[in-house]
Structure 1
Amino acid sequence: MDFRPDDSVQAVAGLAAEVLRGEAGTGQAWPALAKAGLLAVALPEDLDGDGLGTGGVCALLTEVGRAAAPVPALATLALGVLPLAELATAEQRAAWLPGAATGDELLTAALHEPSRPFPARPAVSARSDRGWTLSGTKTGVPYAAEAARTVVTATAEDGEPAVFVVDGPVDAAASHAAGATPEYTVRFDGTPAQRLGPDVAAVYRFATLGALAVGDGALAGALDLTTAHLASRHQFGRPLAAFQAVAGQVADVYIAARTVHLATLTAGWTGDQSDVDIAAYWFADQAPLAMATCHHLHGGLGVDADYPLHRYSSLVADLVRFTGGQTERLARVEV
């Protein structure tokens, strides 16, 4: 099977890399991505989008991770645009998606609950009484205070899980995150919502694939940063990269990064839940170890807040937590 991306997806990756190369650290990356038309990659063609779906979004998110760019791409595209493009009606898509494509509106999803990442049967409840309302708590919601609308998983009155959308502001309290992405605890108390449908698994799959794509890029970016440092830093008259012990540790990071890349690519290509679970477990297991090695190889420079490595390690830490962590992901892998 040929897993190579088609020309359109490769073009998205190339353009995203070019845009982020100049804007990643300036605070203008998000408007620049919008101006380049990259935020419309997953919009259907009837909304002037490219219709590239998960493949286009993951290509963009990988470059976002490679640059460790502090932009709301994961929240808006993987947590918002992809499920809305899949589950919303044509009328709802026309109302909700164009603002995200121009960068004027942010989207997000409230998926996790206290000690329950991606719950199959959410504790947040949905009631239908002259319209749907939601009650309960979600945690670790990225950009919740800034988002124009929020995709929410909840359990309806019939006991079945379903997907809802809260259109407008939510009750959001800031919570801790390692990196630059703002996260919130969101409380619903009779909050009006619109029901999209029962496909909670699809929303979780989009979110996990998006996080894996960003993590794939972040590992690659950290590896590039580390190898460049080792090639330029000298000890005893030789570059650090020339020492066998150092070369062996870099090789371990390379193997971890390439394996995460291949597992993520496979999961995105097939869309099969078992492939997604395997890729998520491998990322949660290997990414923190690889980042620790990158920090070790940088020595004291690696913990300098003015040096970019911390952006990669904090991003990876947040992504591992977002996917549920090693133990949670291993429990989901079917043997």
Structure 2
Amino acid sequence: MDFKLDEAQREIAALAADVLGRESDTPWKALGETGLLALAVPERLGGDGLGVLETAVLLTEVGRKAVDVPALATLALGVLPIVRYGTPGQQDALLPLVTEQHGVLTAALSEPSTPFPPKPATTARREGSGYVVSGEKINVPHAASAHRILVTATTDQGSVVVVVDPAQPGSSISDSSVQLTEAYGEALQEGAAEGLRRFALAGACAVADGVLAGALDLTVRHLGTRHQFGKPLATFQAAACQVADVYVAARTLHLAALSACWSLDDNDLDTAAYWLAAEALPAVHTCHHLHGGLGLDITYPMHRYYGMAKELTRFVGGVEHRLGAIDVH
């Protein structure tokens, strides 16, 4: 199976790398102004009408540069599910928040001690044309800056995704936790809960793919230019073996992430998410170690890669949860 990027996807990657590489003050706004936040938005709303793979290419470049922007939250947890499961009216109301205002969307999927529950403890009941939602959510990316939060909840008929405005009564946000008490919102169409879970895992794996590739590239450059005993560190066998291990982890995650984003199949997604949880953070830790004291310098980017790998591991639920998900399937 050929997972090579096509011409349009290569152009997206190149443009994203250029924008993120030169824009240090307002990278999120810069991504919006170049049209990269509108990749998956329907053409009738001024977008490109593209899909998951093109969004994943952008997310990978965000990870590769280790830039702290709400791309995973807004694009994978917001735009993609709204495009797929939102009504035309919901799309008209929500997507311009991103494309025109460069606002932030996110989703609340996990609950205390329960990552990505198939039947959330958070409940929703019908009221008028919408739903009233109550429950506690954790690990909500960029919750404090979100204009809307997509909340998974359980009703008498099954799981739904309710779009909640956190500025309205009933929502309380602390860091990445969201407490909902009779918060009102509109539900996306049937199937949104399962679709949102798939988009979330695919997006996280795409970002992690970039994070590990970027950390590896930074480490290889460091070892090639830093000398000890008159020789580049890259010539030392111990360092070369550790870099080789990181390379294997990075290439495997890359292929797993591409497969997951291409198919959105549960087996592919769970495999990629497990590899993220089990291997990404240890591999970045190795890169950190190979930098020595330089890796601790806050002006050097290594700490950003480590922080992102740690957050992504937490977001997908950790190693044991991801292994359990594979066993279920």
Aligned match of 2:276: 283
Aligned match of 1:34: 32
Aligned match of 2:219: 226
- Please say if 1:193 is aligned against 2:185: yes
Aligned match of 1:61: 59
Distance 2:252 2:173 in 1: 37
Q: State the one-letter code of the partner of 1:6.
A: D
Aligned match of 1:156: 155
- Please say if 1:320 is aligned against 2:306: no
Shift of 1:103: 4.4
Aligned match of 1:253: 246
Aligned match of 2:203: 210
Aligned match of 1:180: none
Distance 1:105 1:293 in 2: 36
Q: Secondary structure at the match of 2:119?
A: coil
Moved more, 10-19 or 161-170: 161-170
CA contact (8 A) 1:145 1:172 kept: no
Shift of 1:173: 3.3
Aligned match of 2:163: 165
Aligned match of 1:88: 86
Q: Secondary structure at the match of 1:117?
A: coil
In the TM superposition, 1:35-184 aligns within 5 A as 35-130=33-128, 131-158=130-157, 160-169=158-167, 171-175=171-175, 184=176
- Please say if 1:8 is aligned against 2:1: no
Deviations 1:257-276 (A, max 9, x none): 01100100111111211100
Distance 1:270 1:186 in 2: 31
Distance 2:206 2:299 in 1: 25
Shift of 1:256: 0.5
Any stretches of 5+ residues in structure 1 without a counterpart? 176-183
Aligned match of 1:179: none
Deviations 1:71-102 (A, max 9, x none): 11111101100000000111110111022123
Deviations 1:304-323 (A, max 9, x none): 22221000001000001101
Q: State the one-letter code of the partner of 1:259.
A: T
Distance 2:320 2:54 in 1: 30
In the TM superposition, 1:231-246 aligns within 5 A as 231-246=224-239
Q: State the one-letter code of the partner of 1:57.
A: T
Q: State the one-letter code of the partner of 1:144.
A: A
- Please say if 1:331 is aligned against 2:329: no
Q: State the one-letter code of the partner of 2:2.
A: D
Q: State the one-letter code of the partner of 2:152.
A: T
Distance 1:3 1:226 in 2: 26
Distance 1:104 1:256 in 2: 34
Deviations 1:12-57 (A, max 9, x none): 111101111101xx22111111111100001011212111111111
Distance 2:172 2:80 in 1: 23
CA contact (8 A) 2:55 2:75 kept: yes
> RMSD between aligned alpha carbons?
1.3
Q: Secondary structure at the match of 2:118?
A: coil
Q: In percent, how many aligned pairs have the same letter?
A: 52
Aligned match of 1:263: 256
CA contact (8 A) 1:147 1:169 kept: no
Q: State the one-letter code of the partner of 1:167.
A: D
CA contact (8 A) 1:125 1:157 kept: no
Deviations 1:116-148 (A, max 9, x none): 111000000001133410011111112222211
**How many pairs were matched up?**
324
Deviations 1:285-307 (A, max 9, x none): 11111011111111111122222
**Length-normalised TM-score, structure 1:** 0.94
CA contact (8 A) 1:9 1:52 kept: no
Q: State the one-letter code of the partner of 1:145.
A: A
Shift of 1:3: 1.4
- Please say if 1:273 is aligned against 2:271: no
